[in-house]
Amino acid sequence: MAISLEQIRADFPILQNGAVYLDSGATSLTPTPVVEAVTKYYTDYNANIHRGLYDWSVEATEGYEGAHKTLAAFVNAEHVEEMIFTAGTTSALNVIASMTTANMQPGEEIVTTLLEHHSNFVPWQKAAEAKGLVFKTINVQEDGCLDLEDAKQKITSKTRVVAFTAVSNALGVLTPIKELCALAHENGAIAVVDGAQHIPHFKVDVQDMGCDFYAFSGHKMYGPTGTGGFYARREHLLNMEPVVFGGDMISEVTIQASTWNELPWKFEAGTPHIAGGIGLGVAADYMTSVGLETIEQHEQDMTAYALEVFGTLDGVEVYGPTDPLKRIGVVSFGIGGMHPHDVAELLNRKHIAVRAGHHCAMPLMDHLAIPGTTRASFGIYTSKDDIDALAEAVEYTKSIFTV
Amino acid sequence: MTHSHDAMTEELYRETILDHNANPRNNGPLDDASFSEASLNPSCGDRFTLHVKLSEDGSSVEAVRFEGIGCAISTASMSLFSEKLTGMSVEEVRQLDKQFVYDLLGVPISAAREKCALVSLKTAQTGLRLFEGRDA
């Protein structure tokens, strides 16, 4: 790394308390510049945005709108107004599902995958149920990678939406984003990408991917919780009706009818998380300052190292592909005869924070025929020492259960 | 975080729990159950079904079996609880509280494991309530 790991870790004072944090896939830690930016809003210019004719409100508006510009550039959107802020990926995907299925007809198809987090699965399943749509899921291969041949079968001329994750939260598996977007478009469907586990690790280029929508969370990319949003191609935003109504999203309201504000505000009703949105912009800048290639390389290195170390542990099964280039940021594993909950609790006794359970991906767990996994996930501050500590603690949990 | 947990850890996974986890009692189907209730512990993916056979007059528990998989705490909870439940009066089952299960497990239960520990009690009482509601 051009910038040293020590320098990065110094930006995350919480790491000094001695915990080994391996749960960045659930939420990343927050660097000092982001914490300071959020605090500064409350201490220096705590005002609502838009239409305030005084300095604080102007500063808040500029900060919040500036964060939209930062994020639009961060994902390489063609236009600034293609960036909508929401409370995170879940709210983004719910809104996208409501809007894109609004005019769909019974018998038309939604295609998603077995790798999805529930938040990119249930909203589509419910929309299909409500509107008489056909809900299909693309299978995975034995190693957890998406079955592209199956995708070619499932996506048809009746398909209107293909919704898929760019990186599996449960296994860290990468999906073929460009191929899936192209398949969707060849069949006249739109492509919705869940970028929650993708944006923390890669330089995102929505134009290069060719997606129509890209949803993400701020709190997985070193920003505050309750932030995030989605990119959408402008033509969709112009043509779609909003599904959340209220203040700031309207142009004019009469007893007879209402008209909508210009993009992107048409899709941001109510007072938003202003401090959080500003903090999200700072988080994106922070990642840019570290270097997105540097981040990707580091996370790839940590993933490869973890796979290597786990390969030497007896009685431990790592789920997902063995090729580190087919995955990123996550090592999900099982220890023979031990429930993931017990593993995680024992790891916690050694001050190691991991996640255990179905990871909000119950269809995938059913497919793998396991109740859940123990998942270690990595961020820009993760070190080889962290992974060594995990491996040592795994041996300890085995000794308790005498595996 | 402190380093004082190791003694507790040994205690937590002491022999009883490990034994009931590895060899759960009353494990399996029950053909003539009065009611069967599925557990709901969505955070960790535990899935149990508790089968209960009541006496003919419906006043006491005659037999208990359970099926499914879960973590060591929840499996031991189901196993230990099933042993105690057998022979109990329905009224007693209704009155049972959390402490009854905690005493059975005999180890400190952290907030994160409360759902695991109480899965047996909750499933039994929910099943009983629904069964009696159906009867009424």
- Cα Rg for chain A, rounded, in angstroms? 22
- What is the maximum span of chain B, computed from C-alpha positions, in angstroms? 54
Contact status of A334 with chain B (Cβ, < 8 Å): no
pLDDT for residue A261? 93
pLDDT for residue A401? 84
Q: Do A358 and B45 lie within an 8 Å CB cutoff?
A: yes
Chain B interface mutation, best of A16, A21, A332, A345, highest count of B Cβ atoms under 10 Å? A345
* Token pair 């299925």 in the structure block, residue: A101
Averaged confidence pLDDT in chain A = 96
* pLDDT tens digits along B69-128: 889 999 999 999 999 999 999 999 999 999 999 999 988 888 888 999 999 999 999 999
> A172-195 burial string, b = 16+ CB within 10 Å, else e?
bbbbebeebbebbeebebbbbbbb
pLDDT for residue A284? 98
Contact status of A401 with chain B (Cβ, < 8 Å): yes
User: What structural domains and CATH numbers belong to chain A?
Assistant: 5-24+291-401 (3.90.1150.10), 34-289 (3.40.640.10)
Q: Do B71 and A342 lie within an 8 Å CB cutoff?
A: yes
Contact status of B37 with chain A (Cβ, < 8 Å): no
Q: With a CB-CB cutoff of 8 Å, which residues 112-131 of chain A face chain B?
A: none
Residue A253 has pLDDT above 90, yes or no: yes
Residue B45 has pLDDT above 70, yes or no: no
CA atoms within 13 A on the CB side of A275: 17
Nearest alpha carbon to residue A356 among A333, A338, A332, A374: A374
pLDDT for residue B136? 46
* pLDDT tens digits along A271-289: 999 999 999 999 999 999 9
pLDDT for residue B47? 85
Q: Would residue A360 show up in a list of annotated catalytic residues for this protein?
A: yes
- Cβ neighbours around A125 below 10 Å, total: 18
* pLDDT tens digits along A324-337: 999 999 999 999 87
| DSSP reduced 3-state for B68 | strand
- The ipTM is 0.78
* pLDDT tens digits along A141-164: 999 999 999 999 999 999 999 999
Tell me whether residue A254 is exposed, middle or buried, using C-beta atoms within 10 angstroms of its C-beta: 0 to 12, 13 to 18, 19 or more.
exposed
Element of type H or E holding A65: helix A55-74
Set of chain B residues whose Cβ sits within 8 Å of the Cβ of A18: 1
Output the CA–CA distances (angstroms, integers) from residue A314 to A48, A307, A334, A335, B72, in the order listed. Answer: 57, 13, 11, 9, 21
Q: What is the mean pLDDT of residues A203-223?
A: 98
Q: What is the mean pLDDT of residues A14-20?
A: 93
Set of chain B residues whose Cβ sits within 8 Å of the Cβ of A351: 1, 3
Averaged confidence pLDDT in chain B = 87
pLDDT for residue B1? 39
The Cα–Cα gap between A330 and A241 comes to 37
Tally the residues of chain B.
136
Contact status of B1 with chain A (Cβ, < 8 Å): yes
> Contact A138/A146 with Cβ under 8 angstroms?
yes
pLDDT for residue B126? 94
pLDDT for residue A230? 98
Which residue on chain B is closest to A356 by alpha carbon? Answer: B44
User: What structural domains and CATH numbers belong to chain B?
Assistant: 12-135 (3.90.1010.10)
% of chain B exceeding 70 in pLDDT: 85
Residue A392 has pLDDT above 60, yes or no: yes
Residue B129 has pLDDT above 80, yes or no: yes
Contact status of B73 with chain A (Cβ, < 8 Å): yes
Which residue on chain A is closest to B45 by alpha carbon? Answer: A371
- Cβ–Cβ pairs < 8 A, chains A and B: 61
Residue B2 has pLDDT above 50, yes or no: no
Nearest alpha carbon to residue B22 among B76, B103, B64: B76
Q: What is the mean pLDDT of residues A374-385?
A: 98
Q: Do B112 and A362 lie within an 8 Å CB cutoff?
A: no
* pLDDT tens digits along A56-109: 999 999 999 999 999 999 999 999 999 999 999 999 999 999 999 999 999 999
pLDDT for residue A163? 98
Contact status of A17 with chain B (Cβ, < 8 Å): yes
Nearest to B9 among A356, A371, A400 (CB): A400
**Highest-confidence range of A1-10, A49-58, A159-168, by mean pLDDT?**
A159-168
Lowest average pLDDT, out of A231-235, A277-281, B8-12, goes to B8-12
Question: For residue B44, what pLDDT band results from cuts at 50, 70 and 90?
Answer: low
Residues in contact with A221: Cβ distance below 8 Å, sequence separation at least 6, in sequence order: A28, A199, A200, A280, A283, A284, A287
Question: For residue A403, what pLDDT band results from cuts at 50, 70 and 90?
Answer: low
| DSSP reduced 3-state for A26 | coil
